[in-house]
Amino acid sequence: MTSEQANAAAYWKANVRLITWSLIVWALVSYGFAMILRPMLAGISVGGTDLGFWFAQQGSIITFIGIIFHYAWRLNRLDKEYGVEE
């Protein structure tokens, strides 16, 4: 394996790790907080409704947008680190 192939393999390994963690955070917020943890979050009020409902309606969307920006920022750093920037 050449150093260029090793560099490409390391880049994609880091990219897949970033995608995996992004999906874990998304699933935790979307499913965990909104559905599974809703009974525990029911007593906490945010904006006139309980926190579990807020996560289901607004929090998961806001988190998803945050994940998109974090992924773009982190991928730009990975591109520079592995020398594959545009």
Compute the distance between CA of residue 7 and CA of residue 63 in angstroms, rounded to an integer: 31
11 Cβ neighbours under 8 A, 6+ residues apart:
78, 82, 84
Contact 52, 31 (CB under 8 A): no
Contact 67, 75 (CB under 8 A): no
Beta strands in the chain (DSSP E): 45-46, 49-50
Could you report the per-residue pLDDT of 7-49, keeping only the tens digit for each?
889 999 999 999 999 999 998 888 877 777 778 878 888 788 8
Partner residues linked to 45 by β-bridges? 50
Query: Which residue has better confidence, 69 or 59?
Result: 69
Chain-wide mean pLDDT for the chain?
87
